[in-house]
Structure formats: structure tokens, C-alpha cells
Structure 1
């Protein structure tokens, strides 16, 4: 039976660099020979029925090099290399062990021989699992895209930058060689956390936020509060967004729009939409276009996975009709999140002044939940209530009240006495639901 423990397939590469290069060169030669023999032996590489024949061909080819290498081609190494070559032909090649390791959160490829990982505790490390060359990287990535969940399943250098969602839910971001200074494809894979906490209660139990703030956010979300989750990349924004979504009543209709499908919602009436890149004879569908369709889908709650551009103003305009909204964005603090939303609203094709954008943001939003990363720890650092904007010297300014905060993630998230649910005119009559 095929040994699928690919991490050990190139164990030589991690213990001895000169030997690892020789092992890699041998694997490449054998793989090229196997590819040339596949057609002769009438093996269908995509068919599960021909799996045994392919494994046998790889092993037979490897054995022809016994005694002809500068290192011992032991039965164990033959088994490992068989797995490695098999993975190159049918799977994710050198990335296979990294994708399977639940302690690895992100994979970063800078060059065929420069692969880095970010562990779940936040630490980065270089791994000496190498591709043969640039074409090897492209073959593996093309195969991963072909099996992806996205509408565009082809590796297309003309796009320059591509984003997709792999079959296990992981996100892949690709910068094509033409845009990279060293001419190598740059790749980031953000893995899908199968054990991720998806309720506020679970997050509270893990110390991501406090029990009191869990109760408050649950009550706020169920009372119609529009909430923005802010923070730096990797600070847990999407985790909090999903947890808030799953705290809503099951009778709600949720309509969402994302570039890469990340939201998991257990509510039955969850209409999830995804953008589409430009393709021959098919126009691009942006987040802004999907956002403009929200109101025609009779939502109770509208969600944008992350606002970054021209979708911001139509999203806020949707909230101004009284519909509840949830989204996330990158920001340094809760206050900075409001300022960024104002700026993004002004980037819209419709002209809007800073003063009008401030009023719109302040009128539409109720809460900002700011997340942070501190070393290996992530969590909510502050929860802020958005009050009515204040007119000061003929300029509209944001007004906020801090409800929960902590100076360090290693300290408890404390309530400061202001945590009262005040939604004003946007409070809904939930007795009618």
C-alpha cells in the first residue's frame, strides 16, 4: 500500500542540504521518466483504477537507480520517494505535508527553494521542503486551482494576481512572476481551520473575549446592532464575524457577499454570494455589484466578508434603510476603523464629502469590535459603541463610547460600566419575528 506520510519523503532535505539536493535531483529524474512511460503503459493518471499501476511504475523506475547513487537507496527511501513523486503527479507535491499539518496556519512560497510556514501560535519558520524549479511550482498550483471551489479554476498569468479557495476551504493568493521582482511566483495559502471555534460562547471559553462581552455581543446582534469587526491581518476578525453570525436567531435570512468564501453559518436561510473575476465573454462581478443586489433579496442581515473598496458606500446605504449589517476591515484600532470606513466611502464612484461620510458611518453603525494579535495570542482588545456624530466648529466628528477594553491580551477584557444596549431608532421589534 502507498505510504502517504509525505513529511518524511524528503527527510534527507531537512538534515543534510547537500544530500537533499541529490535526493531532489533523483526524484526529478525519476518523475520525468515516469511521465514519459505513463502513456506507453496506458496508465490514466486521473483514474483511481490505475493507482496501483502508477505506484508500481514509480517504484520500478526508482529501483533502476539502486547502486548508482552517491547515497543508499534504501527500501524506506524508495517508499518515501514513491509517495513524494505520487504527490507531485496527483496531489500538492511538496506542500502535501504542510497542508495536512493542523498546527500550520499559513504557507508562504517566495521561490521554489524558499518555503516558509506560520504556525497556529504565530511563529514563522523556514521549511526545507523544496520544489524542483518554477515550472514545478506552477504545475502544483495549477492542479490545486483545477480542484478549487472558485469559478475561475485556471492559472492565468494575464490576471497578474489571483485569489481562490481550495477544495478544503483554504485561501490561496497568487502573484504571477511578471509582478515579482525575482521572477518567481509568490504564493500565500491561508489554511482552513477545521477545529475553529464558531460560537461566541466557545470564544469566551478560550479567552478570546470575556463571558460578559459574549453576552453583550449576543444581545446586541439579536437586537439589530450593525457591527464592524476590525483588526490587523491574522487577528481573528473572520472568526469573530462567524461567531456573531451564528449567534443570530435561526429564523433570520442572512445574505452575504465575499471575494473568497470563508463565512460558515449554521443558519438555514443563508444566501452566500461570491465575486467573479473577468473571463472571456463573462464580465467581472465585483463586491460592489453583489452589494447593490442585497435589498432585492429581502435580507434580515447583510454581510460583507471584508470591505476594502467601492463596495463600502453601497453597503452603508443598505444599512441606512434599517437593515442590520456585519462586516470586517483592517484597522489599527476601533477609532481608526471608523476613519477608514469614511475614507473608503469617499472612494466610491458617487461623490460624497468627508462630512457626509462621517454622518453616514455614525448613523449606520452601532458597534466596533477590535481584534489584535500579541505574540502567539489573538483576541478582542476593545468593543466600542458608535454614538451620533457631533458637530464641532462646522465639522462632523465621530463620537464613541468604550464598553470593554484591555491594554494587553494577557489581561481580562473588562467592562467599564457603559455596556448598555442603546440602538435608538434602529432597534427592532423582535416580538414580531
Structure 2
């Protein structure tokens, strides 16, 4: 007589999965702490013991490889870690079909690797949870910082197909400003101008599209700030890691499942002003925090900096007024604040020749009936023929700021 339906026995976990579970239990028991880069420092002795107990290896090289795979799968980028280690890779992407792509010096490339929808979802949830972020049906998108990389993930049905993951990798080491300038056309001239902007403590906005190098350039500029100045950075997800001895990093936080506990960029800008900043930096201005940022620059906080998404320097006023509207500021109030707060706008682009600055301008407020608007006055514009100098350069040369080097830097034309 038949006993009827009976559940099938679940498959036995693989050796790799047993090693991962053993390691996860020991890490939890040991109270291993998160590192400053957003990852977790796994003790090598625990990794070695997990390999010895559960994974057959025959050479030291094979053991080291298995330890790396275990660390990647538990606290790193998992199956995306290997393509992320490719030379020149800046981004790793998982599309709706699970295909893994890389972007970098050679452009967008398909790796041939593919993740199953369940594997991509588990990876996305684990990466965001590692940074204390939630990812589920109620919150189907989010950002996190993992092992120094910025991770963005989106789950269905917000995205069609399977989960989408975008990983922006940090530079192996923050590039120095002079090294960056060495890759630009007319790099020496740009370097001289940017060092002048720093020295006179001009308030600077760096504009550009996604992936144009705004954050990289901002980090290189901050590395040249004098060592006895205190830099406070405010970011949605931490990306800025300038090579400077005194940096305080503040990171926004979303609310929990009940919607409480959120800390916005605007909240952090207000807190930063109470922390004695010599330089206040907002990693990316994208919303109502722009009102507090502009107010800070108008109340004696010189040498501030930030980035903003825009198609050109001429489009920055429209972006500022749109963000000002989110904070309840009218066009005229935003124009008044921005014209007196922002000294210079540097626009960067990603071209076939690489990421580079293409325009430097100053913001001005015209007289008369147009006083409620912002005007962009070009200072330096890169063209196919070379650099063109505009009337805005005189305004930059007139800035003297508060410098330890004794004042104005002449800008060669």
C-alpha cells in the first residue's frame, strides 16, 4: 500500500557551502568587526582552517585560491570579485538576464559569466545587508558600500527580468592631481588653474555625467588641501577617500522597515557645520540638501566643494534651481544664494581620450529684470583648437581668499 506523497530529502550542501557555513559561524562567534572600507576583515587563520576542514587542496597556491573564494563569498563581492580584479576595471554590472559586464579602459565588455536569478538576488540582498541596508519587496532598490566599492541593486518588478546589480570600484590608490593632469590635453595649464582655485579657497562645484570622473577629481583636489585643515565630507554612499590626514566622513542612512531612523544629506550638512570644518564637501548634491550647502558657503565656510550631475556648465543653474525648489526656495532665492556662494563650476566629460575637464566657469547674477536667474560666465573652455579664455577668468584671478601662501596666484593665459 502506498504511503502517499513524502517530501524529498534536500540535497546535501557542497563542500564549498559547508566551508562557508562553518566560517560564517566562527566569524559570528568571534565578533569580527567591519573594516573601514565597508568590508569585513576575516582572520587568515579562520580562512585557512575552513579550507583545511572542508576543501581538498594539494598545493599552497590552491589553498590560497580557495581562501580568496571563501572570503569573496562571505564578505566580498562574491562571483563578481574575480571580474572586478581585472586590470583597469572601474565598474562591474549584472543585467536582467544575469550576464556579467565590466567597464573600464577598454569600454563596456561582456565577461561570459552569468548568474542565475536566485544567485543574483541572494548576492544583492547580502551585499546591501552587509552595510546595514535593506533590500526586499518593500524596498526593492538601494545602495551600499562593500569592500570600498559602491553597490547599487534593483529587484523585480522595479526592473524587468532579473535583479540588476551595479558595482562602482574604487581606484587601487587615489590618483594624485598631477598624475590626473598628466593625462589631460593642456594638463599643466589646468593644473595651475585648479591649484589656484584651491589656494584661494574658492567654493567649487564639479559637474558632469555619471562616470565622468567627478568624484575621482574631487578626491585628488582634496588631497592637496593643507595638512592642518580639517575636511568633513557628507555623502549618500561613501566614495570619497582623499589622501589627507584629517578627513571626517559622514554617510546618510535610509529609514528602517517602519520608516523611522532616516538620516538625510540635509541633516548631515547641518551636523557638519557644528563640527568645525575647514572644508565642507558634499559628495553629490541631488536634492533639498543644496539649500543648507549654499547657506553654509554663504556664512564664511570658504573652500567648500561638491559635485552635481549636469550635461554642461551652462546647465548647472537649472539643476541648482530644481534642487532649490525641493527645499522650498524660489528661483530668485536660489539665484541669490548660488551667485554669492559658488565661485566656480568645473565641468568634466568622459571622451574617447579619457575623463578630463572641458570647461571652467563662474556663476553670476545679471542686473535688472533677469536678476532672478543665474548666468554662467566662461573662464576656460577646451575646444578642438586648444583652450579658449573667457571673461570669467578675470573673476577667478580676482579671488584672493585666505591662503597661507600669501595671496593671489597669477593664471597664465
TM tier relative to shorter chain: 0.7 to 0.9
Match of 1:273 in 2: 250
**CA distance in 1 between partners of 2:330 and 2:308 (Å):** 21
- Please state if 1:176 is matched with 2:155: yes
Match of 2:52 in 1: 52
Match of 2:182 in 1: 205
TM-score (norm 1): 0.75
Match of 1:140 in 2: 123
**CA distance in 2 between partners of 1:42 and 1:312 (Å):** 45
The answer to whether the 8 A contact 1:43-1:53 is kept is no
Match of 2:312 in 1: 333
Query: 5+ residue gaps in structure 1?
Result: 1-30, 61-77
The answer to whether the 8 A contact 1:84-1:93 is kept is no
Match of 2:214 in 1: 237
Residues 205-231 of structure 1, C-alpha deviations (whole Å, 9 max, x = no match): 121662122112212222120000001
Q: How many Å apart are 1:431 and its aligned residue?
A: 7.5
Match of 1:419 in 2: 393
- The structure 1 residue matched to 2:290, chosen from 312, 319, 338, is 312
What are the residue-to-residue correspondences of 1:51-90 with 2, within 5 Å? 51-56=51-56, 90=74
What are the residue-to-residue correspondences of 1:264-413 with 2, within 5 Å? 264-279=241-256, 283-324=261-302, 325-348=304-327, 351-375=328-352, 377-387=354-364, 389-393=365-369, 395-408=371-384, 412-413=386-387
**CA distance in 1 between partners of 2:272 and 2:299 (Å):** 11
Match of 1:94 in 2: 79
- Please state if 1:106 is matched with 2:88: no
Q: How many Å apart are 1:401 and its aligned residue?
A: 2.8
Q: How many Å apart are 1:340 and its aligned residue?
A: 0.8
- 246-255 vs 328-337, which moves further: 246-255
For residue 312 of structure 1, give the secondary structure of its aligned residue in structure 2. helix
The answer to whether the 8 A contact 2:377-2:391 is kept is no
**CA distance in 2 between partners of 1:243 and 1:186 (Å):** 31
What are the residue-to-residue correspondences of 1:187-266 with 2, within 5 Å? 187-199=165-177, 201-207=178-184, 210-266=187-243
Q: How many Å apart are 1:391 and its aligned residue?
A: 2.4
- The structure 2 residue matched to 1:163, chosen from 122, 143, 164, is 143
Residues 1:211 and 1:417: Cα distance change in structure 2 (over 3 Å): farther
Q: How many Å apart are 1:369 and its aligned residue?
A: 0.3
**CA distance in 2 between partners of 1:384 and 1:109 (Å):** 38
The answer to whether the 8 A contact 1:210-1:413 is kept is no
Total equivalences in the alignment: 369
For residue 317 of structure 1, give the secondary structure of its aligned residue in structure 2. helix
Q: How many Å apart are 1:50 and its aligned residue?
A: 2.2
Task: Give the root-mean-square deviation of aligned CA atoms.
Answer: 3.4
Q: How many Å apart are 1:294 and its aligned residue?
A: 2.5
- The structure 1 residue matched to 2:112, chosen from 119, 128, 132, is 128
For residue 267 of structure 1, give the secondary structure of its aligned residue in structure 2. coil
Q: How many Å apart are 1:337 and its aligned residue?
A: 1.1
TM-score (norm 2): 0.79
The answer to whether the 8 A contact 1:171-1:190 is kept is yes
**CA distance in 2 between partners of 1:170 and 1:252 (Å):** 27
Q: How many Å apart are 1:134 and its aligned residue?
A: 1.7
Q: How many Å apart are 1:374 and its aligned residue?
A: 1.7
Residues 21-61 of structure 1, C-alpha deviations (whole Å, 9 max, x = no match): xxxxxxxxxx964448976x9982444212123222xx89x
The answer to whether the 8 A contact 2:16-2:54 is kept is no
**CA distance in 1 between partners of 2:98 and 2:20 (Å):** 33
Residues 1:318 and 1:93: Cα distance change in structure 2 (over 3 Å): closer
- 391-400 vs 361-370, which moves further: 391-400
Match of 1:21 in 2: none
**CA distance in 2 between partners of 1:43 and 1:307 (Å):** 41
**CA distance in 2 between partners of 1:319 and 1:340 (Å):** 18
